[in-house]
Amino acid sequence: MKNLINFLVKYSVVFLFVFLEVFSILLISNNKGYQRSVLLSSTNRVTGWMYEKSSNFFDFFKLKEGNKHLSDENTLLLNRVTQLESQLASLTDSLFTADWQKIKIPPEREYEYIPAKVIRNTTHLSQNYITLNKGSEMGVKPDMGVISENGVVGVVQSVSKKFSKVIPILNPQTIISTKFKRNNYYGPLEWDGKDYRFANLKDIARHVKFSLGDTLITSGLVKTFPEGIFVGTIDNYDIKESDAYYNIQVKLGVDFRMLTYVKVINYLNFQEQTDLEKQVYGEETDKKE
């Protein structure tokens, strides 16, 4: 009790000041004149500012949830589009047959897509890696391709039950089979370990015609990626008199430092094609892919 009395005596001036301030505000608020309108206006501004900041704070978390929802919806739509494209291709082939009565559209498709979120990502190392929040439990397997809304990301290297490790383009171990969209001339894309925004296109001979800004897409020659996925654009190139091939710099479509949501590509005929190619070409060809 003595300590409480000492505390009140010690801070009596402060308590008196607060009491007088509150009393003054009450007097002003009860006044119908100018002072009351000024007080109410100031109070409204302060509370409005607080409400706005509070709303922005909660909207930030709603935005993250909204982005995930949009990513999942895009994946569902992409799966549906892939199925429809497969059906359309089958119908188109059937239209050229003589027997019009036997047109059938099979329900199967070649690819399906698994949505995932990037939970770890490096871009500054000589050999970068990405960790995704989806693993074998959701159907992710090694050697599956990974893409984002902006293009090719990389290839799944290993998986656990709930997670997967991806080797992105920003790793010399990853070589992406690409081609020019304008003329279908293809070549391997490799990263030189320097700038996360660029990679190098190899084996493009002197006679090949292309221009700055030309689009590079996946070739479809390997099982990892379907044909036609955006990779990047030609940013710079040169060739020496004695060289047979161009040195070509490609600006990647994916900004790896802003990568959040991706899609893992499940090629449904992967195992069947792999087994057949091992019989025909042997183990070495499969390893090179």
Average pLDDT over residues 119-136: 95
The CA distance from 122 to 253, in Å, is 17
Question: Residues 171, 145: contact at Cβ < 8 Å?
Answer: no
Instruction: Name the residue type at position 74.
Output: N
Radius of gyration of the chain (CA): 31
Between the ranges 21-35, 49-63, 245-259, where is the mean pLDDT highest?
245-259
Contacts of residue 142, Cβ cutoff 8 Å, sequence gap at least 6 = 156, 157, 158, 159
DSSP of 86-146: HHHHHHHHHHTSS-GGG----S--SEEEEEEEEEEE--SSSS--EEES--GGGT--TT-EE
| Residue listed under structure tokens 């770890």 | 120
Q: Which of 9-13, 47-51, 132-136 has the lowest mean pLDDT?
A: 47-51
The CA distance from 102 to 87, in Å, is 15
The predicted-structure confidence for 196-207, as pLDDT tens digits, reads as follows: 999 999 999 999
Question: Residues 259, 118: contact at Cβ < 8 Å?
Answer: yes
Question: Please, what are the domains in the chain?
Answer: 110-288 (2.40.10.340)
The per-residue pLDDT of the chain, averaged, comes to 79
State the pLDDT confidence band at 103, using cuts at 50, 70 and 90.
very low
pLDDT of residue 274 exceeding 50 = yes
Of 68, 69, 49, the closest CA to residue 57 belongs to 49
Strand pairing partners for 262? 116
- pLDDT for 87 equals 58
Question: Residues 47, 40: contact at Cβ < 8 Å?
Answer: no
- Angle formed by the axes of helices 2-10 and 12-30, nearest 10°: 60
State the pLDDT confidence band at 106, using cuts at 50, 70 and 90.
very low
Give the three-state DSSP class for 201.
strand
Of residues 197 and 268, more confidently modeled: 197
Question: Residues 154, 146: contact at Cβ < 8 Å?
Answer: yes
The predicted-structure confidence for 29-73, as pLDDT tens digits, reads as follows: 555 555 555 555 555 455 445 645 665 665 565 566 666 666 666
The predicted-structure confidence for 174-190, as pLDDT tens digits, reads as follows: 999 999 999 999 999 99
**Token representation of residue 96:** 């050229």
pLDDT of residue 168 exceeding 80 = yes
- pLDDT for 268 equals 84
How far apart, in Å, are the Cα atoms of 35 and each of 17, 21, 26, 141? Answer: 20, 15, 11, 71
pLDDT of residue 83 exceeding 50 = yes
